[in-house]
């Protein structure tokens, strides 16, 4: 039998008392992640941008680990922000953020499907419950800024 790796796949939901455009702007403004959320994104470098698609080099702190990734951000303002990790420690990861008008503000739905490469696979940080908790903390910080 042996240990079977369970890749973290989960969904998060939150209601924020801000309008959808404001919430979308904060979540999709990856150029400012380093300034707004340095505890999670110590380094961000936009490699290219064209219309609603950008390729970004990111350092992401998740729990006690720093991931170095190349991510493609695709937006459909103000309803959708998708992140496709195209290189690095979490290549193959897909994160989908949806922003829905709600009578009390904006409902945010996030679907996360993490994939890990190399030594990241065997780290105990990346049990499903731990990664969901760590990512949820990032989500909470983004929501507080709204």
CB 97, CB 109: distance < 8 Å: yes
Q: What is the pLDDT of residues 10-53, one digit of tens each?
A: 999 999 999 999 999 999 999 999 999 999 999 999 999 999 99
* This prediction's pTM: 0.89
Class of domain 20-145: alpha beta
CB 68, CB 56: distance < 8 Å: no
| pLDDT of 128 strictly over 70 | no
């Amino acid at each position: 039998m042996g240990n079977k790796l369970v890749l973290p796949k989960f969904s998060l939901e939150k209601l924020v008392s801000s309008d959808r455009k404001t919430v979308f702007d904060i979540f999709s403004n990856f150029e400012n992640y380093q300034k707004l959320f340095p505890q999670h994104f110590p380094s961000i470098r936009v490699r290219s941008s064209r219309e609603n698609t950008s390729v970004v080099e990111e350092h992401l702190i998740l729990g006690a680990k720093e991931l170095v990734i190349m991510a493609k951000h695709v937006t459909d303002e103000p309803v959708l922000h998708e992140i496709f990790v195209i290189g690095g420690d979490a290549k193959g990861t897909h994160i989908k953020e949806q922003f829905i008008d709600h009578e009390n503000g904006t409902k945010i739905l996030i679907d996360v499907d993490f994939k890990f490469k190399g030594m990241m696979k065997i780290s105990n940080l990346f049990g499903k419950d731990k990664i969901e908790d760590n990512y949820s903390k990032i989500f909470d910080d983004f929501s507080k800024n709204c």
